Structure 1
Amino acid sequence: MAAAAPIPALEEAFADSPPLHQEILEYVSRNPQSLGLFQRISQYIIDTKQANADDRDGPATKRRKLETHPGSQIEIVSKSTLVAELSSQPSLLRIPDISFSIPQRKKFTLVLTTAALGAFNSNNSVEFGVHLNEVDYVACVPVPEKAAKQWNFAIFVKNSHGISDIATDPLLFTVTDTSPKGSAPAESGDIRQTIIATLNPILPINVAEPSVEIFRSLTANSYRKNEVSYHVKSHLGTKEGFLFFLKNAIIWGFKKPLFCFVFDSIESSSYSSITQRTFSLTIKTTVEFGGKEIEFSMIDQVEHPAIDDFLRRNQLKDASMAEARRAKIPSSLIKENTGAKSELQAAENEIAGIDQNDSDDDDDEDDDDYEEDSDRSDHTDASDSGDSDAEPTSKERIPRNLAEEELGSELEEVDNTDDDESGEEN
């Protein structure tokens, strides 16, 4: 019998057991169709050995971090368990060439079992993944500002929401509106529908998708004009991104850090930096989620009614006006400002043509300093016709009524005309 050709994966997997390695080679030479099976078994053994070696190195390396570029990492606890779940259990779904963005920007094969979801590299080994029982939120939303429709899947586990002090990366991958590669012609649905239909029965929660009943943008979709937009453009510092208002959560993406505000993590929300064109939305998280205030700025004013309606319906704005969160006024200021008009009231009075000083002081006949001035109008006219550079009194700074303030010089011309006519009659 001719010697069997060496198989690198087998040699590495069974390097510590040469007799078993040789027996497998002889079996494969008699049964060539079994080669693929033994290669997968060998790769599983290699991955398990590597993971066990990582675990034995101590606590510092037990949580393995995969570095892709500065500031990017994912933390996988007990990778040996994850590898075992993905390699030993039957695959419910296996889709090649899926574009991942987080934690690595690269194409991988997406593999889904009843216990885990992972990304496999070209060598059929696990790069990263998550245990499904640790997943607490999954969103599938349209990729904004693309002519061809694409969908982003964002998968969050504990501490991957972007708002915790001890943070890990979520999983983020993109699919198109096409059928999965290798699917039978009779199979219906696109990749997105296939993934959602497979995930929902085995996840603790269903995949969240946008809908017009939950939220819809009030800005027209300039990329696909006949479709509704579900996102709102905003900025996080200098980074431009998109807010999605979904069932039980608000998501901001899709540049790192990716934020997921589940409703239970939101203490309050508020508006600031309001201008004619834009405003900012600030979300404060609860103490359990870090107690941070994160501001999303440069949101178009057109979107305010839709956002405000979403926040009110889900009672996410009520806490912002809670008594406990209001600024406390020192007692000295309370005494000093007792009876003083608010700035808003003063503005309203001025617009309405109300001179509070006149009504309180000069026009009250019961006051001691009340002095009837029958020539008041003549005195006013004389003051108006005098030196324009003279310092006006406090009463003259306040317009008698809104019409006089707006018309200004036109009213003066009318007054001067009346005086001239009176002079001619005399």
Structure 2
Amino acid sequence: MSVPTSALEEAFSDAPLLRQEILEHVSKNPQYLDLFHQISRYIIKIQQASIEDRDGPSIKRRKLENNTGSQIEVFSKSTLLAELGSQPALLRIPDISFSIPQRKKFALVLTATALGAFGPNESVEFGVHLNEIDYVACVPVPEKAARQWNFAVFAKNSHGITDTATDPLLFTVTDTPPKGETSGESTGIKQTIIDNLNRILPMNVMQPSPEVFRSLTVNSYRKNENSYHVKSHLGTKEGFLFFLEDAIIWGFKKPLFCFAFDSIESSSYSSITQRTFSLTIKTTAEFSSKEIEFSMIDQVEHPAIDDFLRRNQLKDASMAETKRAKIPSSLIKENTGAKSELQAAENEIAGIDQNDSDDEEDDDYEQHSDGSDVTSESDSDDSDAGLNISQRTSSRNLAEEELGSELEDVDVTDDEEP
């Protein structure tokens, strides 16, 4: 019988006698061929992982950009390789489209202790230990005619808000309900993944809900269905905000952000125009008190967002002192004690000399109980006129006073008559 020996030769290259014994045994007992090939592949993975741990970066390390544009190295740990390669798969789905950390189709594999992506020839491309996962979200892919869902798997330090950030896992599934079932009863790929993760993880996969948040923009692709995303920008990158039961997520371009409620110090609005506004989320001191601004949000969405933030007591810091516009000290110094142009014009119209300080020591100074200052002609006039007459006198037009006084002194003689 002809026996394939490539995997056996590679796995036992440093033990030729043992390799020969295995080949002889397989020749006599072909039913064990598959078993020995699995053992050989497992040994190869262990050897590769051991080389990486000993010699540092290898050709299998993938350099991926983080949110600052620098390079971070992502590689599989030897224990992760061993667990994914040796443990029985609780779930295996081929041809899943991954976006992060690699944009490629892989087989999604879930074991009792790890979740990972398998490439051709059963190679483990990347993965994460289940005990490192602290948040998983499944949200609709926005602006797609066909129903698709994004699964975002966040491990520790992969939320985008830590200084030592690593990449989360992001993959997309297209789910079509079986014949005879409605979309709400679907037990397709999406629900299969959710059920398996809920069963094995200490937390549930979070999904949008109209009771938690619903976009006020009409779903242009499926008008009878709710939308759960809000379009926004992070710098020049366009993305989408999702407001979930216990977190706010922004995606789906790197960096992904996951703001769990306990990581949010406050929220605030800024750059408010007739059409758009910005939402800034500030993290707690534990997460370096970062302020991340999401801009160009449609004003139509403001009531829904504001209601969500208030219901979840995510502090609104829009009117905080640090958010107010600062007046330069030079302007404060220049304008100290100076009258404004508007005040000067009002004084001139009222007939008040700008050089007259209305000093309280002047003989004609009088202050009423309502705080207004009136210059009276005589004590007897003040006592008879009262507050109303004083107010009318102070607002009399200066030009009319002067013109009226001149007309009263003019006598018309017979010579001047026509």
Asked if TM exceeds 0.5, the reply is yes
Q: TM-score, normalised by structure 2?
A: 0.74
Matching of residues 291-370 of structure 1 within 5 Å: 291-318=289-316, 367-368=374-375
> Any idea what the Cα deviations from partners look like across 1:38-70, whole Å, max 9, x if unmatched?
322222111111111111236xx49x8522679
Report the Cα distance in structure 1 between the residues aligned to 2:21 and 2:125, rounded to whole angstroms: 31
**Could you say if the C-alpha distance between residues 380 and 55 of structure 1 is closer, same or farther in structure 2, counting changes exceeding 3 Å?**
farther
Report the Cα distance in structure 2 between the residues aligned to 1:75 and 1:137, rounded to whole angstroms: 22
Secondary structure at the aligned position of 2:375 is classed as: coil
Aligned to 1:237: 235
Secondary structure at the aligned position of 2:63 is classed as: coil
Aligned to 1:272: 270
Residue 67 in 1 paired to residue 74 in 2? Answer: no
Name which of structure 1's ranges 200-209 and 303-312 shifts more when overlaid on structure 2. Answer: 200-209
Secondary structure at the aligned position of 1:257 is classed as: coil
Shift of 1:337: 9.2
Which one-letter code corresponds to 2:197 in the other structure? L
Matching of residues 89-108 of structure 1 within 5 Å: 89-108=87-106
Question: Which of these two proteins has the greater Rg computed from alpha carbons?
Answer: 2
Report the Cα distance in structure 2 between the residues aligned to 1:381 and 1:243, rounded to whole angstroms: 67
Which one-letter code corresponds to 1:275 in the other structure? T
**Could you say if the C-alpha distance between residues 97 and 33 of structure 1 is closer, same or farther in structure 2, counting changes exceeding 3 Å?**
farther
**Could you say if the C-alpha distance between residues 308 and 376 of structure 1 is closer, same or farther in structure 2, counting changes exceeding 3 Å?**
same
> Any idea what the Cα deviations from partners look like across 1:265-324, whole Å, max 9, x if unmatched?
111110000011100000111122122111100000000000001111111124666789
Shift of 1:225: 1.3
- Decide which of 12, 16, 23 is 1:25's aligned counterpart: 23
Shift of 1:139: 0.4
- Does structure 2 conserve the Cα–Cα contact (< 8 Å) formed by 1:76 and 1:129? no
Q: How many residues were matched structurally?
A: 355
Shift of 1:89: 1.4
Which one-letter code corresponds to 2:375 in the other structure? D
Shift of 1:153: 0.4
Name which of structure 1's ranges 284-293 and 104-113 shifts more when overlaid on structure 2. Answer: 284-293
Which one-letter code corresponds to 1:158 in the other structure? K
Structure 1 ranges of 4+ moved more than 6 A: 322-331, 360-366, 380-383
Aligned to 2:415: none
Report the Cα distance in structure 1 between the residues aligned to 2:3 and 2:274, rounded to whole angstroms: 75
Is there any run of 5+ residues in structure 1 with no aligned partner, and where? Answer: 181-186, 341-345, 347-354, 384-426
- Decide which of 13, 21, 26 is 2:11's aligned counterpart: 13
Which one-letter code corresponds to 1:66 in the other structure? R
**Could you say if the C-alpha distance between residues 66 and 78 of structure 1 is closer, same or farther in structure 2, counting changes exceeding 3 Å?**
closer
Report the Cα distance in structure 2 between the residues aligned to 1:48 and 1:73, rounded to whole angstroms: 27
Shift of 1:361: 9.1
Secondary structure at the aligned position of 1:200 is classed as: helix
- Does structure 2 conserve the Cα–Cα contact (< 8 Å) formed by 1:283 and 1:293? yes
Q: TM-score, normalised by structure 1?
A: 0.73
Matching of residues 73-84 of structure 1 within 5 Å: 79-84=77-82
Aligned to 1:110: 108
Secondary structure at the aligned position of 1:145 is classed as: coil
Q: Percent identity?
A: 72
Report the Cα distance in structure 2 between the residues aligned to 1:27 and 1:175, rounded to whole angstroms: 44
> Any idea what the Cα deviations from partners look like across 1:337-383, whole Å, max 9, x if unmatched?
99x9xxxxx9xxxxxxxx9x9xx999988633668549947957999
Which one-letter code corresponds to 1:56 in the other structure? R
Which one-letter code corresponds to 2:231 in the other structure? K
Report the Cα distance in structure 2 between the residues aligned to 1:226 and 1:302, rounded to whole angstroms: 19
- Decide which of 157, 160, 175 is 2:158's aligned counterpart: 160
Name which of structure 1's ranges 39-48 and 360-369 shifts more when overlaid on structure 2. Answer: 360-369
Aligned to 2:38: 40
Aligned to 2:145: 147
**Could you say if the C-alpha distance between residues 18 and 151 of structure 1 is closer, same or farther in structure 2, counting changes exceeding 3 Å?**
same
Name which of structure 1's ranges 157-166 and 65-74 shifts more when overlaid on structure 2. Answer: 65-74
Aligned to 1:134: 132
Report the Cα distance in structure 2 between the residues aligned to 1:259 and 1:164, rounded to whole angstroms: 10
**Could you say if the C-alpha distance between residues 146 and 375 of structure 1 is closer, same or farther in structure 2, counting changes exceeding 3 Å?**
closer
